[in-house]
Amino acid sequence: MKKLLSLALALAMLTLAAGALAMTPGTYEATVPGMHGPMTVGITVTEDAITDVEVLSNVETPGLRDWVVEAIPAAVVENQSLSVDVVTGVSISSRAILSGVREALKLAGAEDGQFDVEIAKEVPTDEELTADVVIVGGGGAGLAAALSATEAGANVLLIEKTGFFGGNSIVSGGIFNCPDPDLQDYADITSSLDPLVEEALAEEPVDELHKQVQDTVRAQFEEYKKTDKHVFDSPEWFALQTWNGGDKVGMLDHLLFYAERAYPTLEWLESMGMEFAPKINSASGSLYMRTHTAVMPNGTGYFKAFQDTLATRQDLFTAKMDTTAESLITDENGRVIGVNCTAKDGHKVTAYGKNGVILATGGFAGNVEMRVKYCTSEKWPDLSAKVITTNMPGVTGDGLRMAQEVGAQLINMDQIQLLPYANPWTGATSDITLTYSASCYINKNGERFVREDGRRDEMSLAIIAQPDGLMYQLFSADAVPDPATGKTLGDKTVAYYLDNHLAGYVQADTLEGLAETLGMDPAVLQKTVDDFNSYVRGEATDPCGRITWTKELKTAPWYAYPRKPAAHHTMGGVNIDVDTHPLREDGSIIEGLYCAGEITGNFHGANRLGGNAIVDFCVFGRIAGANAAAGK
Ligand code: ADP
């Protein structure tokens, strides 16, 4: 354990020597509830001081926990106080650490309130800052923009509302779709995807661009059929499928631009150290075998690559954390020149961007008021606070309001995505077991009711219609041969969830036993699995319409855990051109401003394909950064 002794500690020793009860020197541990499960905190004390604090184990959100497990313990030791600031946006985990220290202190014999010492703070003064480029939002798009702007030699000031980088991007599935013909041909798949292409090509084109894209894909598909490859793909097919998958509500010209840049963007990520698993798969809701899966948990690999690279450009990159942007500043010609912000301690920060200001503040699926206001379509029966969310607390649609205030047009605002398989209590996704399609969805009666490789909106609606609006993800040793090594998205093992009774995970040695544990009729569940296996073998056609089959479910033990749809992504937002300039209703550009990431509304239409959002924030974050740096 690290030894941190400071002036505050020395003072604490003196004060305590004067009166308080002595603690028994030694090392103590306490286990307290964290955000997603138990957290064990260890402390070392002398008679009158805390000399070390360490988080010994936890199941906090990957990516977010990194911002607290060092900082909070260090602050406690430094200040000899439990009254340290929590990390904004990671407050539950921060408080869990403090509560662990408090419990451990009791074991050490500390007096109640002994370490509730007020910490003196400097009086804040207002600040006026200038950079070449100001970026609002330190999620995926914001950091991608910071990278390309600094790459171009611009100095960047990034304003982030919370105490961490990552936004919703860091808690995403970390998946990245793009055509990758060499790897795609090694995809584990027993069925042909060619009918999907044929179906899209058989459609009557709705306009000239649609026809042109179909013609291009048709020619590419004919060429592919002459080869011995077994998965067809191309940027144009990726664009067309994304557009069709969003009910043609997105913009096909924007999607062609996006899809063409997807693979070069993957290479850019890899050049910064981002690692993907060596096999392609079809992530749930992606509708095709073109998903690259991050090796690190959730979206953390992207942020490691981004932050490691930005750390080498410290002369050009500054971030103001715990600072909320509130409104844009324009000059007399309507050009955006800066941002008015307020820091957590209340002082004003006025940030001027000489070459441009980028809004990368994400979507609004976690903002109940906004999602209820805008999502007027009949698609979702309920979007009230009763619906859980996967979103981080800092992502509340602020940038949409700011952009609108300077004249930007908002489009497709009624399009919201529910993620079908979130933790029913917390909305978390880090506890999803990675089964790579070798699993099935069943309701509380043990019946299958939806294709697992379908659209996210269709899966979510189907789950909402089941008893209690929930489903179980069912898998077997065929997908996870050993629970001690089988991983969840957040990199914990299946065994961890089972042993700690977390997220509703259950295991049984027989399918019958699993049915009994879940209160299902064993005969119904057995038939569900038998039918499922007959579809995998190609002996029968799945009435739910699933196409991508991988493995039969045959081998014990059996596992299941419950899932519910959660408000996840907003497809609508600022209308931009492909250079990330926000547009007014008359099509004119708002000078000085750039928008990228989930704040924009042009791409995903009525249903975003799983694995397409990271491509979006990387491609357009980069463009925004480069264009803002050049003032273009
Ligand atoms: P994207 O995928 O588009 O990058 P994210 O959700 O990953 O979106 O990131 C959005 C980021 O913007 C989050 O880190 C969030 O805390 C930050 N943010 C949102 N509103 C503001 C604001 N008003 N001021 C500063 N940062 C903000």
| Mean pLDDT of all residues in 459-463 | 97
pLDDT > 90: percent of the chain:
88
pLDDT at 474 over 90: yes
In our burial notation (b when 16+ CB lie closer than 10 A, e otherwise), range 304-327 reads bbbbebbeebeebbebbbbbbbee
pLDDT at 548 over 90: no
Residues 6+ apart with CB under 8 A from 257: 578
> Would residue 608 show up in a list of annotated catalytic residues for this protein?
no
Pocket test for ligand 1, best of 91, 135, 158, 160 (most atoms within 8 A of CB): 160
Per-residue 3-state assignment (H helix, E strand, C coil) for 166-214? CCCHHHCCCEEECCCHHHHCCCCCCCCCHHHHHHHHHCCCCCHHHHHHH
Q: Residue 351 has what pLDDT?
A: 98
pLDDT at 327 over 90: yes
Q: Residue 524 has what pLDDT?
A: 98
396 CA → ligand 1 middle, Å = 8
Cβ atoms within 10 Å of 614's Cβ, excluding its own: 27
Atom of ligand 1 nearest to the CA of 169: 7
**Domain 418-566: CATH class, spelled out:** alpha beta
Give the C-alpha separation, 467 to 464, whole Å.
8
> Mind listing the pLDDT tens digit for each residue in 29-47?
999 999 888 999 999 999 9
pLDDT > 70: percent of the chain:
96
Whether the CA torsion 501, 507, 508, 514 is positive or negative: it is positive
Give the C-alpha separation, 405 to 386, whole Å.
30
Q: Residue 20 has what pLDDT?
A: 56
544 CA → ligand 1 middle, Å = 38
CA 573 centroid distance within chain? 18
362 CA → ligand 1 middle, Å = 5
Q: Helix 7-17 vs helix 71-79: angle between axes, to the nearest 10 degrees?
A: 50
> Mind listing the pLDDT tens digit for each residue in 354-366?
999 999 999 999 9
Give the C-alpha separation, 368 to 297, whole Å.
28
Q: What is the DSSP letter of 66?
A: G
494 CA → ligand 1 middle, Å = 31
Give the C-alpha separation, 625 to 152, whole Å.
9
Q: Quick one: which H or E segment has residue 327?
A: strand 323-330
* Residue limits of CATH 3.90.1010.20 in the chain: 7-108
What is the separation, in whole angstroms, between the first and last Cα of the chain? 51
Q: Residue 279 has what pLDDT?
A: 87
**CATH number assigned to the domain covering 7-108:** 3.90.1010.20
Which has the closest alpha carbon to 413: 569, 596, 572? 572
* Residue limits of CATH 3.90.700.10 in the chain: 418-566
| Mean pLDDT of all residues in 146-162 | 98
CA 54 centroid distance within chain? 27
**Does the domain spanning 165-319+378-396+599-630 belong to CATH 3.10.310.50?**
no
Split at pLDDT 50, 70, 90, the class of 59 is confident
Give the C-alpha separation, 572 to 534, whole Å.
40
Give the C-alpha separation, 483 to 497, whole Å.
9
Does residue 516 or residue 185 have the better pLDDT?
A: 516
Strand partners, 29: 42
| Mean pLDDT of all residues in 50-74 | 93
> Mind listing the pLDDT tens digit for each residue in 398-415?
999 999 999 999 999 999
> Mind listing the pLDDT tens digit for each residue in 536-546?
999 999 999 99
pLDDT at 1 over 60: no
> Mind listing the pLDDT tens digit for each residue in 226-251?
998 888 999 999 999 999 999 999 99
Split at pLDDT 50, 70, 90, the class of 195 is very high
| Mean pLDDT of all residues in 18-25 | 74
DSSP reduced 3-state for 625: helix
| Mean pLDDT of all residues in 146-166 | 97
209-215 long-range contacts, CB within 8 A, separation 24+: 209/252, 209/253, 210/252, 213/239, 213/240, 213/252, 213/256, 214/240
Give the C-alpha separation, 485 to 92, whole Å.
28
Split at pLDDT 50, 70, 90, the class of 121 is confident
Q: Residue 21 has what pLDDT?
A: 63
Whether the CA torsion 517, 487, 474, 571 is positive or negative: it is positive
18 CA → ligand 1 middle, Å = 48
Does residue 280 or residue 521 have the better pLDDT?
A: 521
User: What's the whole-number average pLDDT of the chain?
Assistant: 94
Atom of ligand 1 nearest to the CA of 596: 3
Q: Whose CA is nearest to atom 23 of ligand 1?
A: 325
Q: What is the DSSP string of 94-130?
A: HHHHHHHHHHHHHHTTPPTTTT------PPP--EEEE
Question: Which residue in the block uniquely carries the two structure tokens 């073998």?
Answer: 537
| Mean pLDDT of all residues in 319-347 | 97
Atom of ligand 1 nearest to the CA of 137: 12
What lines the ligand 1 site, CB under 6 Å? Answer: 136-142, 159-162, 167-169, 324-325, 360-362, 394-395, 398, 597-599, 617
* Range with lowest mean pLDDT among 243-252, 276-285, 523-532, 564-573: 276-285
Give the C-alpha separation, 277 to 446, whole Å.
33
Q: Residue 17 has what pLDDT?
A: 45
Atom of ligand 1 nearest to the CA of 621: 4
Q: Residue 192 has what pLDDT?
A: 84
Pocket test for ligand 1, best of 161, 306, 350 (most atoms within 8 A of CB): 161
Q: Which amino acid is at 418?
A: L
Give me the catalytic one of 261, 456, 546, 608: 456
339 CA → ligand 1 middle, Å = 14
> Mind listing the pLDDT tens digit for each residue in 495-508?
999 999 999 999 99
> Mind listing the pLDDT tens digit for each residue in 372-397?
999 888 899 899 999 999 999 999 99
Q: Encoding tokens for residue 319? A: 């971030």
Question: Which residue in the block uniquely carries the two structure tokens 């060499």?
Answer: 182
Q: Which phi-psi region, left, alpha or beta, contains residue 587 (left: φ > 0; alpha: ψ -120 to 50)?
A: left
DSSP reduced 3-state for 247: coil
